[in-house]
């Protein structure tokens, strides 16, 4: 007789977890609280996690006391975000004391780092399950082990997982107007400050057919604003057997008939091509919005960051884009206080934002990440001084954003209506350039596009009146 243990399938794990959880929840549907930290990629991952949980019979709650499973999908981009996660996990100890069968799970970028996994192992013994970004698809198996093996489960991807893309996972989408669609995973760039290539692995692109099929499904389901996601979408397709450029993928998706917008993020300036700009300019559904992180206006700092472009190259690309797409809305990410940055170098950043006139900026104070090259660089500028620079940059950007918004007063903008606020009855939506507009109008317009006459501007938020019902 063979003593081989039969391999369980994903379906069996799903079924078994559903049965065990139903018993633990005494016949009621078990409830999960999934909290997401960080970027849109994490939001998209959480939607897959929720899809898998739903398959296993879970419904969702926002209340810790009601939950049978609490899962934090974490972010590793800044130290502050990690500290917040540790604080919030620590607070769960009391919830678990009151509800001993509660399962506490952590996943995401933080947990892919060995020193974090170790800290969770040693200092947070009440955490049951820790898993990395590469093994999300194995959640049913990991939960099954957590529930049956009687010990804590720690799982991170190995080299083979690093190269895999698992298609066909169920997705529980949080909204029904805007959707996230991942086109690629990982990053090959190794910017010297960034932890992403270490925690999300090398670039892997989904097959264009798989993306097209998911995209068509979203359009057919009525999603109006679809954002294509990747750490560096402009590298899309380079590693496919039959390479496809990101611009070509955009053109393919843009041909799908329907009333919707396509956005994408993030674009790395060194890989953003004129072909991409021309594609946006010639598209039917592609938003005239480009998120193009420049990070610093100083060439020396850009070199130290390993960004692969100069400020002049960045400005030349922006200049081309503005000529081709006059109503283009540009947004960006900036790091203030990179190790060794001087005040004159910081001023180069301020000067660049004044030249480009971004619609909005995501500004970050540099945060050292263990394992990155920048974390070992001398960093002589005190934190208070960096904070002063940070405030200076924000003030400059506020002035630019207010001016740009004021220039839109009197224009008519096509706005995707996202919500009717209960308290005020005001509707809110986004322009093609991703600027928020509050307006009086028809609540039945939620989920549709409407033409809004812009009547006033408050810093970076617009106010208006609906002129199409
Ligand atoms: S391009 Fe640079 S900043 Fe962006 S994810 Fe890759 S390494 Fe990080």
Question: What is the CA(197)–ligand 1 centre distance, in A?
Answer: 7
* Cβ-proximal residues to 329 (8 Å cutoff; 6+ apart), any chain: 288, 289, 290, 359, 431, 432, 433, 434, 435
Q: Residue with the nearest Cα to atom 8 of ligand 1?
A: 194
Residues forming CATH 3.40.50.12160 domain(s) in the chain: 10-163
Ligand 1 atom 1, closest CA:
189
Whole-number pLDDT of residue 294: 98
CA distances, 276 to each of 245, 260, 281, 434 (Å): 9, 19, 9, 19
> Which parts of 266-328 are beta strand (E)?
289-291
Buried/exposed 223-262: b ≥16 CB within 10 Å, e otherwise: bbbbbbbbbbbbbbbeeeeeebbbbbbbbebbebeeebbb
Q: Looking at the CA of residue 197, tell me the nearest atom of ligand 1.
A: 7
Residue with tokens 């209506």: 417
Structure confidence by residue, pLDDT tens digits, 73-91: 999 988 888 999 999 999 9
- Average pLDDT in the 8-14 region? 91
Mean pLDDT of 10-38: 92
Helical segments of 135-207, H only: 139-148, 159-163, 196-200
Find all residues with CB under 8 Å of 103, minimum gap 6, and list them.
68, 69, 70, 128, 129, 143, 146, 147
CATH class for the domain made up of 10-163 = alpha beta
Residue identifier of the C-alpha nearest atom 4 of ligand 1: 231
What proportion of the chain, given as a percentage, has pLDDT over 90?
Answer: 87
Q: In testing the pocket of ligand 1, which one of 199, 232, 272 has its CB within 8 Å of the most ligand atoms?
A: 232
| Residue 200 Cα: closest atom of ligand 1 | 5
Phi/psi of residue 29, each to 5°?
A: -70, 125
> Which ranges of 99-245 does DSSP label H, i.e. alpha helix?
114-123, 139-148, 159-163, 196-200, 208-220
Side-chain half-sphere CA neighbours of 427 within 13 A: 24
Cα–Cα distances (Å) from 386 to 193, 335, 394, in that order, read 16, 10, 12
Backbone angles phi, psi at 461, to 5 degrees: -115, 135
Contact 441, 417 (CB under 8 A): yes
- Strand, coil or helix: 117: helix
- CATH 2.40.50 for domain 412-466: yes
pLDDT at 3 over 70: no
Distance CA 159, CA 291 (A): 31
- On the CB side of 382, CA atoms within 13 Å amount to 3
* pLDDT of res. 27: 78
Atom of ligand 1 nearest to the CA of 194: 8
Question: Do residues 338 and 301 make contact, with C-beta atoms less than 8 angstroms apart?
Answer: yes
3-class DSSP string for 332-393? EEEEECCCCCCHHHHHHHHHHHHHHCCCEEEEEECCCCCCCCHHHCCCCCCHHHHHHHHHHH
Q: Which of 208, 196, 272 is nearest to 240 (CA)?
A: 208
Q: Which residues are registered as beta bridge partners of 468?
A: none
Distance 303 CA to ligand 1 centre (A): 14
Do you know the residue count of the chain?
Answer: 469
Ligand 1 centroid vs 315 CA: distance in angstroms?
20
d(CA 211, CA 44): 14
Average pLDDT over the chain, rounded to an integer: 94
The answer to whether 397 touches 458, Cβ cutoff 8 Å, is: no
Q: What is the mean pLDDT of residues 97-108?
A: 95
* Residue 165 clears pLDDT 60, i.e. is over it: yes
Atom of ligand 1 nearest to the CA of 268: 1
Nearest one of 459, 456, 464 to 413, comparing CA atoms: 464
**Ligand 1: centre distance to CA 196 (Å):** 6
163 has a pLDDT exceeding 90: no
Average pLDDT over residues 315-321: 98
SS3 29: coil
| Atom number in ligand 1 closest to CA 188 | 6
CATH code that applies to domain 178-403: 3.80.30.20
Q: Lowest mean pLDDT of 59-68, 153-162, 278-287, name the range.
A: 153-162
Q: Which residues contact 132 (CB under 8 A, 6 or more apart)?
A: 107, 108, 111, 112, 155, 156, 157, 199
Q: Which residues pair with 428 in a beta bridge?
A: 419, 438
For residue 306, the ligand 1 atom closest to its alpha carbon is 2
> What was the pLDDT predicted at 1?
43
Percent of the chain with pLDDT over 70: 97
Mean pLDDT along residues 42-52: 97
Instruction: Output the CA 433–ligand 1 centroid distance in Å.
Output: 24
Task: Output the CA 335–ligand 1 centroid distance in Å.
Answer: 13
Candidates 196, 304, 338, 374: which one to mutate for ligand 1, based on the most atoms within 8 Å of Cβ?
Answer: 196
42, exposed or middle or buried, with CB in 10 Å at 0-12, 13-18, 19+?
Answer: buried
190's tokens: 């190794």
What lies within 8 Å, CB to CB, of 139 at 6+ separation is 49, 52, 53, 131
- Ligand 1 centroid to 235 CA: how many Å? 11
pTM of the model: 0.93
Contact 82, 368 (CB under 8 A): no
Please check whether residue 426 is in contact with residue 440, taking contact to mean a CB–CB distance below 8 angstroms. yes
Q: Of residues 371 and 161, which shows the higher confidence score?
A: 371
Intervals of CATH 3.80.30.20 along the chain? 178-403
Res 2: pLDDT: 45
Query: pLDDT digits over 246-275, tens only?
Result: 999 999 999 999 999 999 999 999 999 999
Q: Distance, CA 376 to ligand 1 centroid (Å)?
A: 18
Range(s) of the chain covered by CATH 2.40.50? 412-466
* Ligand 1 pocket, CB under 6 A: 187, 189-191, 194, 196-197, 231-232, 268
* pLDDT tens string 296-317: 999 999 999 999 999 999 999 9
């Amino acid at each position: 007789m063979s003593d081989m243990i039969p391999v369980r399938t994903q379906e069996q794990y799903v079924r078994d977890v559903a049965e065990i959880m139903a018993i633990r929840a005494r016949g009621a549907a078990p409830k999960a609280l999934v909290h997401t930290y960080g970027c849109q990629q994490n939001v998209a991952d959480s939607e897959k996690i929720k899809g898998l949980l739903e398959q296993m019979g879970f419904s969702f709650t926002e209340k810790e006391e009601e939950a049978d499973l609490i899962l934090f999908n974490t972010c590793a981009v800044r130290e502050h975000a990690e500290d917040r996660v540790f604080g919030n996990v620590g607070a769960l100890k009391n919830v678990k004391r009151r509800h001993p069968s509660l399962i506490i799970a952590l996943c995401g970028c933080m947990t892919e780092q060995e020193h974090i996994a170790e800290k969770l192992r040693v200092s947070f013994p009440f955490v049951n399950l820790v898993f990395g970004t590469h093994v999300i698809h194995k959640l049913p198996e990991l939960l099954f082990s957590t529930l049956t093996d009687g010990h804590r489960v720690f799982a991170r991807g190995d080299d083979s997982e690093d190269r895999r893309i698992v298609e066909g996972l169920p997705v529980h989408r949080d909204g029904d107007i805007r959707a996230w669609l991942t086109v690629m995973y990982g990053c090959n760039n190794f910017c010297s400050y960034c932890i992403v290539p270490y925690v999300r692995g090398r670039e892997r692109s989904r097959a264009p057919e798989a993306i097209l099929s998911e995209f068509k499904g979203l359009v057919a389901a009525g999603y109006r604003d679809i954002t294509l996601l990747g750490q560096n979408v402009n590298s899309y397709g380079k590693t496919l057997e039959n390479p496809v450029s990101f611009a070509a993928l955009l053109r393919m998706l843009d041909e799908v008939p329907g009333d919707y917008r396509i956005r994408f993020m993030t674009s790395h300036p060194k890989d953003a091509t004129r072909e991409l700009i021309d594609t946006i300019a010639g598209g039917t559904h592609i938003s005239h919005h480009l998120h193009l992180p420049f990070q610093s206006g100083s060439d020396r700092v850009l070199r130290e960051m390993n960004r692969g472009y100069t400020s002049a190259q960045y400005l030349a690309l922006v200049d081309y884009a503005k000529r081709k797409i006059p109503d283009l809305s540009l947004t960006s990410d900036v790091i203030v206080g990179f190790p060794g940055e001087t005040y004159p170098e910081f001023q180069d950043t301020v000067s660049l934002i004044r030249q480009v006139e971004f619609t909005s900026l995501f500004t970050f104070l540099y945060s050292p990440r263990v394992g990155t090259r920048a974390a070992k660089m001398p960093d002589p500028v005190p934190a208070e001084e960096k904070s002063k620079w940070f405030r200076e940059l924000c003030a400059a950007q506020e002035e630019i954003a207010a001016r740009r918004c004021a220039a839109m007063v009197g224009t008519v903008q096509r706005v995707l209506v996202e919500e009717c606020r209960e308290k005020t009855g005001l509707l809110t939506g986004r322009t093609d350039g991703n600027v928020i507009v509050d307006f009086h109008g028809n609540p039945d317009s939620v989920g549709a596009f409407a033409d809004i006459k812009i009547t006033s501007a408050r810093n970076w938020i617009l106010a208006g009146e609906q002129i199409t019902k």
